[in-house]
Every structure is written in structure tokens, then in C-alpha cells.
A and B are shown apart, each in its own frame.
Chain A
Amino acid sequence: MSSTKGLLSGAARLRNELNPDTPPEESNDSNDEQGNHLNDYGELRLPEMHGNIHVITIIGQVEGHLIMPSQNKATKYEHIIPQLVAVEQSPEIEGLLVILNTVGGDVEAGLALAEIIASMSKPTVSLVLGGGHSIGVPIAVAADYSFIAPTATMTIHPIRLTGMVVGVQQSFDYLEKMQDRIIDFVARHSHISAAQFRQMMTTTGELARDVGTVVVGEAAAECGLIDETGGLSQAMDKLRQMIEDHKASEQGQEARIDPPREKAPADKPGPIFKRPHRDWRKGEKP
């Protein structure tokens, strides 16, 4: 009986999909949810897979305080930030891969994402594919280790201001402050100096319609903006290696914490509960 119901509901769904303009028929089975349709069609159900590495993609525009019209492909920070928090919180997730193909977007949303990625305790690796332009640059360098595909590009150009300008000097000062926030973040999280990054921002003669610099693949790694050129396998290998180092570090800490308090000499300090910050780029290990 249940198999007959399943066949009937499957047939109803098939009719709905073949004739999307006609009103869909309701299934008689109240328990029959959308999730069963793979069984109805006889397709194989993929086995459950629980990986320890999760991925976040930053694609199109980085959408912030203003909702972008839907012709823009946009990554919304209200979607990404809870995901980052969930990754940090979940004990099953041991590493995060951030894949970027972005044209830039909202400065504050981009910096928010960059800061949250940089402050995560779990190993993070970023991979720039296609393009990691403008506000994509701080997001890319925020990860513990960054990769760029050999053909990917990063455009570094000044922040612009459009619309009515009330006070020229004040507007200029504000723009400069915003720019300094970005330059400071990039210099702190990559091997490029603030002076060199600022110079790249204001280079003339490279872009037809703007000032700035375009760095392609290897050049991004050579100037110290990105750690290495590579693709998915290199990024995954690096992340796995960092996860192993991270685990070893935690086990080392637990070994230090493990001795019971009553056996510890009274004149020695107590166990260290706070994990020291380690910079993966400098190869710092516990």
C-alpha cells in the first residue's frame, strides 16, 4: 500500500515538473515530503559524508549595508558570518577553506568577514580563483595561509566616492581613513608592507579607467600579498597539514594541563588554559 502511494505521489510530482505552468497536484500522503523524491525516481542516495573541512565561498559582490539589485551575484555577510561562527563552534569541523572569486563590494562587510576569519582559532586557508579584487584582497589575506591560482588576478585600486560631496576636505579625510583601515589590515596579515600596498593602490598607467595595479597569480605571491600559487589540491594539503599541527598543539597543551592539581607543586603556576596565538605563516609551532 505504501509503495503504491509512493508511486502515485512520484507520478504526481513528475507531472508537476513536466508541466511547470499547471498548478501542482497535492500529494495524498501527508508524510510524503520533498526529501523523498530521490527514492521515488529510483535514484541512488549518496552516502552520508561528514568531512572535517568545511568551505565558504565568497563570490560576486560582497553585499553589506545596501541590498544589491538581483542582477548582481552577491555574497551576503548576514549569511556568511553565522556560518563562520558555526564553523568555529562545531567540534567536528577542524579546518576552513575560503574560496574567493569576487569583484569586491562593501568595505565594512568585507572587513567584517576578513576580521572574523583572521580571528578564528581553527586553521584557515584561502584560495583565490578567477579574481579576488578590491575588498576581496583583505578577505584573501585574512586566512592563516593563502593561495592564488596561476591565472587568477587581484586588482588593488583606491576607494572611490560617488554622489554629492558636502565637505571636500572632510570627505577626503574620511576616504583616507577607510583606505588606511584596509591597508593596515592587509599589511598585518600578509608579507607586503603598507607602503608597497599603498603604492600599488595609486599606480598609474596600468589600468585603462582607473589608477591601481593588477597582480596576476605568481606576481601576487612574489610581492608577498599571497603566500603561494596553487590550486585546490595544494590548498587542501596545506589545510590538512595545518589541522595535524593544530591537533598536535592541542594535545601538547592537554599533556601540560593533564597532571592533577593536587600533585602539582604549590610554588608552580597553574595550568595554562589559554591557547597561545601562533602565526602559521612564520612556521611557528608549539
Chain B
Amino acid sequence: MIWSIISEEDIFAGQPVDMPALRSVDHLGKRLLIRPGSDGWGEIVSLLSTAPADFLDGRFAPGTRIRL
């Protein structure tokens, strides 16, 4: 059951064709959400961590490409 200011029609409107689903992976001991590419590499979308210092580490910066 959804309780949101966004309507369910908008939430479940379907997936845009050019937007692949995100994957969560472990990389250097951190959990990351990445957007996989077709070349075996993925782009970091976000870092899943509670430690604020991790977000200052450029290795986990959004947009960084990592090998999957």
C-alpha cells in the first residue's frame, strides 16, 4: 500500500526504454548502486553508507566508472 503525494499511476508508469535498472554491488568493501553498461563497466549512481567520510572518497563518487 502506497502513501505518497505522487500518484500510483505516476510511480508505476513503466520503465523508460533508455534507462537500465540499477544494480547494487559491493566494491572495495562498500555497497554501491550502479547503472550497468553494456561494456562490462558500470557507473556509480549512489553510495550506500552511513559514514559521512565515505562520501568524501572520490573512488565512490557518483559518475565514477567501475569494472563489474
Q: Does A106 make an interface contact (CB < 8 A)?
A: yes
Contacts of B65 in A (CB 8 A): 16-17, 20
Q: Which of B1-38 contact A (CB under 8 A)?
A: 1-6, 8-9, 11-16, 19-22, 24, 27-28, 31, 37
Known: A34-B27, A55-B50, A70-B16. 16 other contacts (CB 8 A): A23-B39, A24-B39, A51-B52, A61-B11, A69-B15, A70-B22, A83-B49, A83-B50, A103-B6, A106-B2, A108-B1, A134-B4, A155-B5, A157-B5, A160-B2, A160-B3
**Can you show 11 pairs from A to B with CB atoms below 8 A apart?**
A17-B65, A34-B67, A35-B28, A35-B59, A49-B53, A51-B53, A87-B50, A106-B3, A134-B3, A135-B3, A162-B9
Q: Which of A102-150 contact B (CB under 8 A)?
A: 103-108, 110, 131, 133-135
Interchain nearest-CB distance for A167 vs B (Å) = 16
Answer whether A24 and B40 are a contact pair too, CB < 8 Å, given A70-B21, A71-B16.
yes
The size of the chain A interface, using a CB distance under 8 A, is 54
How distant is the Cα of A96 from the Cα of B8 in the complex, in angstroms? Answer: 32
In the bound complex, do residue B28 and residue A33 qualify as a contact, i.e. CB atoms below 8 Å apart?
A: yes
Convert A20-64 into 0s and 1s, putting 1 for each residue whose CB lies closer than 8 angstroms to a CB of B. 110110000000011101100001001011110111100001000
Convert A80-113 into 0s and 1s, putting 1 for each residue whose CB lies closer than 8 angstroms to a CB of B. 0001001100000100100000011111101000
Q: Which of B35-63 contact A (CB under 8 A)?
A: 37, 39-41, 48-53, 56-59
Q: Which of B4, B12, B22 has the most CB of A within 10 A?
A: B4
